[in-house]
């Protein structure tokens, strides 16, 4: 994308000032959303060696559980319903992910085939359950902030803006956790060299357990935050997963910074495509990215870990 500077500048020029603002804001919002999802995906892969095909499902559950808890909490009359529901949703998903790791994945984690197929089967299973419980049409949750804002002549749904400060808080927070806390450091160690960390006395299983919770929690948070403003449907697990993978290989499967940058790249690319070409093609981008990067640059672009 960045290689063809001239064409890029030309397309931006075509957009006009109002649209440029649109792209910038919406792209940034999207990038923030994607970074929350992708970072967890990369983390669990580099720490647990698990290509978690249920990652999109955790995102989906974040949304659905927010909906469920919202209605439960509402009836109980407790205050701060929406925020409380979101917190509960994230916590439940994290707990679920830990259970999945502990009960289903842990013993056979060496077999990549098994973890891929099992997590994919789980994704399908949960999707069918949601279909059964809620049907194929969307479920709705009220927004944290109602209404919309107009920034520089661009109409933005206010609720979406929340993603920006949250991402801005969480991502550095994650970095601090990994670099400064003991658990974080052991997770970091495992992600860099499993056997090495094992030999140093790090409990790889514990690190993987915590990472499962952490990574799924991030995905669920993204889902919870997006729930009020997007379609909460049983298929909503597939494309976030695909995008997470596209971002991961674009940014490097072992690199968190790389995935954050790639998240924003993808976000901007999607918005640009939907403005300049067509809405329909946006979903294709991540797929095409996967095919192109893997086939033409299998060693990875920015990451240092290719396998």
Pick between residue 207 and residue 289 the one whose CB is nearest to another protein. Answer: 289
Cα separation, 86 vs 174, whole angstroms: 19
**At closest approach, how far in Å is the CB of 230 from another protein?**
19
- Do residues 275 and 224 make contact, with C-beta atoms less than 8 angstroms apart? no
CA distances from 31 to 166, 190, 250, 251, 265 (A): 12, 27, 14, 13, 7
Residues in the chain: 307
Pick between residue 70 and residue 245 the one whose CB is nearest to another protein. Answer: 245
**At closest approach, how far in Å is the CB of 37 from another protein?**
15
Pick between residue 26 and residue 118 the one whose CB is nearest to another protein. Answer: 118
Cα separation, 44 vs 49, whole angstroms: 7
The vertex-161 CA angle with 157 and 162, nearest 5°, equals 125
The residues of the shown chain that bind another protein, judged by CB under 8 A, are 45, 51, 104, 108, 111-114, 116-118, 120-122, 124-125, 128-129, 131-132, 238, 242, 245, 249, 280-281, 283-284, 287-288, 290-291, 294-295, 298, 307
**At closest approach, how far in Å is the CB of 74 from another protein?**
27
**At closest approach, how far in Å is the CB of 108 from another protein?**
6
**At closest approach, how far in Å is the CB of 94 from another protein?**
21
Q: DSSP assignment, residue 20?
A: H
Cα separation, 307 vs 293, whole angstroms: 14
Q: DSSP assignment, residue 139?
A: B
Pick between residue 116 and residue 276 the one whose CB is nearest to another protein. Answer: 116
Pick between residue 253 and residue 272 the one whose CB is nearest to another protein. Answer: 253
Strand spans (E) along the chain: 148-151, 154-157
**Strand 148-151 and strand 154-157: pairing?**
antiparallel
């Amino acid at each position: 994308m960045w290689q063809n500077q001239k064409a890029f500048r030309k397309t931006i020029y075509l957009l006009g000032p109002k649209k440029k603002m649109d792209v910038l804001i919406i792209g940034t919002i999207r990038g923030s959303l994607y970074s929350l999802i992708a970072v967890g995906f990369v983390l669990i892969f580099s720490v647990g060696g698990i290509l978690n095909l249920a990652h999109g499902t955790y995102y989906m559950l974040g949304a659905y559980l927010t909906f469920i808890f919202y209605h439960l909490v509402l009836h109980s009359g407790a205050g701060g319903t929406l925020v409380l529901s979101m917190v509960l949703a994230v916590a439940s998903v994290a707990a679920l992910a830990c259970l999945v790791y502990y009960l289903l994945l842990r013993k056979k984690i060496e077999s990549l085939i098994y973890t891929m197929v099992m997590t994919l089967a789980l994704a399908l299973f949960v999707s069918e359950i949601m279909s059964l419980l809620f049907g194929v049409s969307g479920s709705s949750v009220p927004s944290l902030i109602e209404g919309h804002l107009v920034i520089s002549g661009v109409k933005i749904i206010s609720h979406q803006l929340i993603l920006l400060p949250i991402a801005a808080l969480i991502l550095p927070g994650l970095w601090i956790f990994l670099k400064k806390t003991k658990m974080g450091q052991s997770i970091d160690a495992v992600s860099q060299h499993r056997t090495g960390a094992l030999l140093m006395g790090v409990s790889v299983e514990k690190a993987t357990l915590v990472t499962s919770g952490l990574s799924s929690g991030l995905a669920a948070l993204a889902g919870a935050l997006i729930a009020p403003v997007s379609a909460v449907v049983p298929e909503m697990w597939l494309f976030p997963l695909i995008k997470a993978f596209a971002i991961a290989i674009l940014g490097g499967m072992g690199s968190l910074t790389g995935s954050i940058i790639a998240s924003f790249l993808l976000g901007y690319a999607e918005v640009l495509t939907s403005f300049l070409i067509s809405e329909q093609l946006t979903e294709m981008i991540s797929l095409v990215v996967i095919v192109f990067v893997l086939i033409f640059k299998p060693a990875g672009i920015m990451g240092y870990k290719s396998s």
